[in-house]
Amino acid sequence: MTNDRQNCWEYMKCGRQPEGDKVAELGICPAASDTSYDGIYSGKCGGRICWAVAGTFCGGRAQGSFVDKRGTCLNCDFYKLVQQEEGMANHHTKFLQFIARKDRSPFFEKMTYRHVKAGERFVVQGKVEDTAFIIKRGSCLVIVEKEGELHPVDHYGQGDIVGGLGILTGEPRRAHVEAETDMDLWVLTKAQFDEITVKDPSLLHFITELVADRLDSRRPTAYRTIGKYVAKDIIGKGAFSIVYKGEHKDLGMPVVIKMMRHNMAMYPDFMKSFRNEAKTIASLDHDHIVKVYDFDERYRTFFIIMEYVKGETLMDMIRHLRKLPPKLVVKFLDQICCALKYAHQQGIIHRDINPSNIIVQPNDELKILDFGLACPIGTEDFANTGTGYYMAPEQIEGDPVDPRTDIYALGITAYEMITGQRPFPEDDLKSLFDLHLSHNIPDPAQVVADLPPLLSNFIIKAGSCRPDERYQNVAEAMDDLQPLVMEFGIAHKNLPTEIRKMASLILIYKEEQQKDLTELMEDVSIKAQSLGIDIKVADFRDS
């Protein structure tokens, strides 16, 4: 079995893909020119499930519909290869494997059994149902019906769960499901699913992986949509969340979609904190802080839609450069301080400043990410949240946090930028915490020769284990940075206020069009925000 997930034309070498050597003679194969229903995966849909596409050219002749060519296609080597790949891949999302463990066998006793004949449609798009199906034997096609056309988008085989996300949300089915072959199914109701979740919390880990798999870009899927947005690639996984690259369906604007892990959604305090992230970032408007556009709750978890920022993390930059030159470090510190000063003025502490939460754009401008741990000044940090290598002593002990907590993490980050390593040994987390609690950050000049003394002093003061010996606020820290900013000729982005123009747009609408107008203005507002344009809305009524 190949590790590459081939399209049919790559495997069959028919030459009928776009720009293939047989296109002039035979035309482009419908499976190669197919565009999935969401319009962003041209060719990838039919290319993996070509047997569901009518009019393909195989075996020396044009084929009809799936019903007409079923016998031939289900014996095709490519079909068998895909079935084998799907059967062996993604074991972590095979529900049958998850639930078949001996200690979970009682759940089978409560589920009913159903036999489905080849060609039978057993899930209907648009219907609201409280059942899911676990495939014991056979395979099926997932087909989205849109504007009268049928778009094959996926297929499932032995061990997969069909309709599982539907019983999570209670929403209408998003696609039809038809049996490719005769099938044996276990029927799981929503009540049984909820019972399993209560008795076996590990199901929540499984659900996170299942949702992540459905939203991943490896195949089209009817479940890729989150409100107005379409999830594409997984670009990061953390202890609390999974992050996707996505785009606005109508505007085509790139975004980042952050999904909370389901096991974390069990905890009301964490859920409140995660909701707070959206509200916190939405209230912040700064060049060096990532913008939030929207948020949504579905699949029993929470999604935040944020600005997509091109670049690499500061952590990745440190890894491949080893050490950053002092001028660049000062430029980065100046930008981070500007952002933190602004956030602190709004009463918000980040609590997790570290190189992984800072994006370096191609122009060396920074964006601070992940205000998910952000909290008001003075909050007691009982959750002990943050990244251990950068946590301030008061944060480790669960004491109230204030701007000096972010300043400490900034000191550790600065040390890492200039030396290429963190200041304390990290073999044991308890020992690391003990060092944070009892030792000041070491002098980076002992590691880097010819380090400007002002920069060395800045790092040492920011990284003091005693809060009263650190900079007491970011403005004080910036004052100490200014001589280096001036010496290196670093230009501030905070330029004088530019002249701004204003244009008026009057929309005349009927009362029954209010809902449509609201949705239109939301879309326009998101696009305008991405361009740095402010929109003000006033409501005028006829007298």
Q: Per-residue b/e over 418-454, b at no fewer than 16 CB within 10 Å?
A: bbeebbbeeeeeeebbebbeeebbeebbeebeebbee
Phi, psi at residue 214, to the nearest 5°?
-65, -35
- Please indicate, yes or no, if residue 128 is contained in any of the structural domains: yes
- Please indicate, yes or no, if residue 392 is contained in any of the structural domains: yes
Domain boundary among 307, 331, 365: 307
- Please indicate, yes or no, if residue 255 is contained in any of the structural domains: yes
Domain boundary among 159, 183, 212: 212
pLDDT, residue 507, reads 75
Same domain? 232 vs 96:
no
Same domain? 478 vs 378:
yes
Single-letter amino acid code for the residue at 10: E
Rounded distance, CA 539 to CA 497, Å?
A: 29
**Which of 340, 349, 361, 494 is closest to 414 using CA atoms?**
340
| Number of Cβ atoms within 10 Å of the Cβ of 518 | 10
CATH number at residue 351: 1.10.510.10
Q: Distance between terminal CA atoms of the chain?
A: 73
Strands 241-248 and 229-237, bridge-based pairing: antiparallel
**Domain hosting residue 57, numbered range:** 8-86
Same domain? 427 vs 454:
yes
- Please indicate, yes or no, if residue 44 is contained in any of the structural domains: yes
Same domain? 95 vs 34:
no
Total domain count, the chain: 4
Same domain? 277 vs 360:
no
pLDDT, residue 221, reads 60
- Please indicate, yes or no, if residue 217 is contained in any of the structural domains: no
How is residue 73 written in tokens?
Answer: 């296609």
Same domain? 427 vs 355:
yes
Same domain? 333 vs 435:
yes
- Please indicate, yes or no, if residue 499 is contained in any of the structural domains: no
- Please indicate, yes or no, if residue 3 is contained in any of the structural domains: no
CATH number at residue 118: 2.60.120.10
Single-letter amino acid code for the residue at 147: E
- Please indicate, yes or no, if residue 516 is contained in any of the structural domains: no
pLDDT, residue 2, reads 38
Residues in Cβ contact with 228 at an 8 Å cutoff, skipping those fewer than 6 apart? 248, 249, 250, 294, 522, 523
Same domain? 351 vs 440:
yes
Same domain? 319 vs 446:
yes
- The H or E element that residue 441 is part of is none
pLDDT, residue 1, reads 33
CATH number at residue 241: 3.30.200.20
Cβ proximity of 350 and 387 under 8 Å: no
Same domain? 273 vs 300:
yes
Cβ proximity of 323 and 418 under 8 Å: yes
Q: Mean pLDDT of successive 10-residue segments in the chain (543 residues)?
A: 66 85 85 66 67 78 78 84 68 60 60 91 90 88 82 81 74 87 89 76 69 62 75 76 84 87 71 71 87 82 88 94 95 96 90 92 91 57 64 89 94 96 84 88 93 96 95 95 93 51 70 74 70 62 51
| Sheet architecture: strand order including 140-146 | 121-123, 176-179, 140-146, 149-156
pLDDT, residue 213, reads 67
Same domain? 64 vs 124:
no
Same domain? 192 vs 322:
no
